[in-house]
Chain A
Amino acid sequence: MDRREFLKKCAMATVAAGVTRFFGNSALAADDSTAIDVVAVRNGTPDAMFDAGIEALGGIKNFVKKDQTVVLKPNMSFASIPEKAATTNPILVKRVIEQCYKAGAKKVYVIDHLLIVNDNELNEIAKTAKEAGAEVRSADGSQCYKEVRIPGGKNLISAQVHELVINSDVFINMPILKHHGGAKMTCALKSLIGTTWDMKEFHTNGLDQCIADISLFRRPTINIVDAYYVLTEGGPRGRSNSKVINPKMQFISTDIVAVDAVSLKQARQWGIVVGEVPYIKMAYDHHLGKMDISKMNIKKITV
Chain B
Amino acid sequence: MLYRIFRILVSGLILLAFLSGFFIHFDLFESLSSYIASWQFFPAIISSLKSGFFAISQIVVLVITVLFGRIYCSLICPLGTVQDFFGIFSKRKRKFYSPSLLVRYTIPLIAILFFVLAISALIGITEPYSIVSRSMSYADSLIRHEFKGEVLYTGIIALIILCAIIILSLLRGRYYCNSFCPTGAILSLFSWFPLFAVRMNKDKCVSCGKCLQSCKAECIDVKDKRIDSSRCVACFNCMDKCNFNAISYSIFKKSKSSEENPKGRQTNRRSVISLIVLGILTYPFSRLLHSKTSALPIVPPGSDSIKHFTENCTACHLCVSQCPTKVLKPSLFEYGIAGLMQPRLDYNSGYCDYNCNICNKICPTKAIKPLSLSDKQNISIGLASIDESICIPYAKGTACAACDEMCPTGATHMIKYKNGLPAPKVDNDICIGCGACENACPVAPKKAIIVTSRAYHTKIDPLKSTKSNSKDNINDFAF
Residue positions of A touching B, CB distance < 8 A: 40, 42-43, 79-81, 115-116, 118, 120-122, 181-182, 200, 203-204, 232-234, 236-237, 239-243, 245-249, 262, 265-266, 268-271, 293, 298, 300
Contact = CB atoms under 8 A, between A and B. Distances in A.
Contacts of B479: 40, 262, 265-266, 293, 298
Closest 4 CB pairs of A and B: A239-B410, A241-B463, A269-B478, A243-B467
Contacts of A246: 474
A40 B400 contact: no
B324 A122 contact: yes
Contacts of A42: 475, 477
A269 B471 CA distance: 8
Interface string B441-479: 010000000000000000000111111001101111111
Contacts of B406: 115-116, 237
B54 to A, nearest CB: 34
B401 A182 contact: yes
Contacts, number: 104
B293 interface: no
Given A239-B408, A269-B473, A271-B470, 12 more contacts: A40-B477, A115-B440, A116-B440, A118-B353, A233-B466, A236-B405, A240-B354, A240-B377, A241-B409, A246-B474, A266-B478, A270-B470
Most buried by A among B407, B410, B440, B474: B474
A80 B476 CA distance: 27
A79 B410 CA distance: 17
A115 to B, nearest CB: 6
B218 interface: no
Given A116-B440, A266-B477, A203 B405 contact: no
A108 B399 CA distance: 36
B477 A118 contact: no
Nearest to A237: B405
Nearest to B355: A81
Contacts of B14: none
Contacts of B161: none
A262 B353 CA distance: 34
Contacts of B464: 241
13 contacts: A79-B325, A116-B436, A122-B325, A204-B398, A239-B407, A239-B408, A239-B410, A239-B463, A247-B474, A247-B475, A249-B475, A265-B478, A271-B467
A293 B466 CA distance: 32
A268 B478 contact: yes
Contact of B463 (A200, A204, A240): A240
Interface centre among A115, A237, A239, A240 (most CB of B within 10 A): A240
B475 A120 contact: no
A218 to B, nearest CB: 26
A40 B476 CA distance: 11
Contacts of A245: 474
A115 B409 contact: no
A20 to B, nearest CB: 33
Contacts of A80: 355
A246 B462 CA distance: 22
Of B399, B406, B410, B477, most buried by chain A (CB within 10 Å of CB) is: B477
Contacts of B354: 240
Contacts of A43: 475
Contacts of A236: 405
Interface of B: 25, 324-325, 350-351, 353-356, 377, 398-402, 404-410, 414, 436, 439-440, 442, 462-467, 470-471, 473-479
A118 B463 contact: no
Most chain B beta carbons < 10 A, residue from A239, A242, A298: A239
B414 A181 contact: yes
A188 B353 CA distance: 27
B409 A239 contact: yes
B353 A237 contact: no
A236 B400 CA distance: 14
A234 B410 contact: yes
B467 A233 contact: yes
Nearest to B468: A243
B463 A122 contact: no
B25 A121 contact: yes
B439 A241 contact: no
A242 B465 contact: yes
B427 to A, nearest CB: 11
B398 A243 contact: no
B98 to A, nearest CB: 52
Given A122-B355, A266-B477, A266-B478, A241 B471 contact: no
A43 B356 CA distance: 31
A271 B478 CA distance: 12
Contacts of B439: 116
Contact of A270 (B399, B410, B471): B471
A181 B355 contact: no
B353 A243 contact: no
A77 to B, nearest CB: 9
Of B400, B405, B407, the most chain A CB neighbours within 10 A belong to: B405
A281 to B, nearest CB: 18
B353 A122 contact: yes
Nearest to A232: B467
A38 to B, nearest CB: 9
A232 B466 CA distance: 11
B404 A181 contact: yes
Contacts of A116: 350-351, 406, 436, 439-440
Nearest to B414: A181
A234 B404 CA distance: 9
Contacts of A266: 477-479
